């Protein structure tokens, strides 16, 4: 991609951010709301620099990021394995589908306190909550992706006497990868929500803790800083998945 084309792609994003900041500043000046209700962009920026300088922001961001990565990897692993098994066995899918669908009818925020009680207030409960919220979308995409592989390709692999392992690596995985990565995009963004839900229930560190601390102390600027860091984490994870798609799906272009 040329430099000029890259600039044209990111220019609308930069302009939208500038417009949003200007609208935010105008809103603050027109409404004259106190800072503990709606801080100005400069107030949030100064609070960001302060928390960055004392190391608290990086520390709590690191805690949340570790929970997200562990939860995301755990959720993806279990969802992919389970989805592959269900894709290969419709009888097993009929047995487990009601339970899987029912599990999604219960909001994670409703069972998060129970998980904290059962697993403790450490990192384990946050990782499990994060994995649970990632599990279902990745599971569904895995089932859809594997079942979308044409039967003619299976016949071709059998005709050359490919083993079960070779069929998995050489056919099923490449053919279903576009759908799998689509589910991973969703899971990557949802993983941030899962980690924060766990931290908001009970935590003494992490960005969720900073959100609660800023709320209790009426430090609204700190709340904004924590929210923007969460947005940055979600965008970064989404960007990583996008790079993976470009790396492994370049044969589609």
pLDDT, tens digit (0-9, with 9 covering 90-100), for 156-169 = 888 888 888 888 88
For the stretch 199-250, pLDDT in tens is 998 888 999 999 999 999 999 999 999 999 999 999 999 999 888 888 887 7
Cα–Cα dist 222/112, whole Å: 25
For the stretch 118-156, pLDDT in tens is 988 889 999 999 999 999 989 999 999 999 888 888 888
CATH class, range 39-252? mainly alpha
Per-residue model confidence (pLDDT) at position 44: 96
Per-residue model confidence (pLDDT) at position 252: 59
Residues in the chain: 253
Does 3 score more than 70 pLDDT? no
Does 253 score more than 60 pLDDT? no
Per-residue model confidence (pLDDT) at position 100: 84
Cα–Cα dist 244/177, whole Å: 11
pTM above 0.85, yes or no: yes
List the one residue out of 185, 166, 175 whose CA is nearest residue 148.
Answer: 175
Q: Tell me the two tokens of residue 150.
A: 């044409």
List the one residue out of 78, 209, 59, 200 whose CA is nearest residue 139.
Answer: 78
Please count the CA atoms within 13 angstroms of the CA of 42 that sit on its side-chain side: 4
Per-residue model confidence (pLDDT) at position 204: 87
Domain-wise residue ranges, the chain = 1-32, 39-252
Q: What is the DSSP letter of 170?
A: I
Cα–Cα dist 174/193, whole Å: 29
Instruction: Supply φ then ψ for residue 41, to 5 degrees.
Output: -55, -40
Q: Which residues contact 194 (CB under 8 A, 6 or more apart)?
A: 68, 71, 108, 126, 129, 130, 131, 132, 133, 134
DSSP 111-162: HHHHHHHHH-SSHHHHHHHHHHHHHHHHHHHHHHHHHTS-HHHHHHHHHTT-
* CB burial of residue 207 (10 Å; 0-12, 13-18, 19+): buried
Q: What is the DSSP letter of 169?
A: I
Per-residue model confidence (pLDDT) at position 212: 92
- On whether the CB atoms of residues 185 and 172 are closer than 8 A, the answer is no
């Amino acid at each position: 991609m040329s430099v000029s084309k890259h600039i044209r792609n990111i220019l609308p994003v930069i302009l939208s951010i500038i417009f949003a900041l200007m609208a935010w500043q105008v809103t603050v000046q027109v409404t004259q709301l106190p800072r503990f209700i709606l801080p100005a962009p400069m107030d949030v920026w100064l609070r960001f620099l302060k928390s960055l300088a004392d190391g608290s922001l990086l520390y709590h961001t690191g805690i949340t990021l570790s929970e997200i990565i562990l939860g995301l990897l755990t959720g993806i692993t279990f969802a992919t394995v389970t989805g592959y098994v269900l894709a290969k066995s419709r009888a097993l899918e009929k047995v487990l589908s009601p339970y899987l669908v029912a599990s999604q009818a219960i909001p994670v925020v409703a069972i998060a306190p129970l998980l904290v009680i059962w697993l403790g207030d450490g990192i384990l409960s946050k990782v499990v909550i994060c994995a649970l919220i990632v599990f279902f979308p990745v599971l569904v995409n895995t089932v859809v992706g594997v079942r979308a592989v044409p039967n003619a390709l299976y016949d071709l692999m059998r005709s050359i006497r490919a083993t079960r392992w070779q069929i998995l690596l050489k056919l099923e995985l490449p053919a279903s990868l576009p759908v799998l990565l689509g589910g991973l995009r969703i899971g990557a963004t949802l993983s941030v929500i899962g980690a924060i839900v766990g931290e908001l229930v009970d935590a003494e560190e992490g960005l969720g803790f900073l959100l609660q601390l800023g709320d209790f102390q009426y430090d609204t600027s700190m709340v904004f800083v924590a929210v923007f860091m969460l947005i940055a984490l979600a965008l970064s994870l989404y960007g990583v998945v996008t790079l993976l798609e470009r790396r492994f799906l370049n044969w589609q272009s």
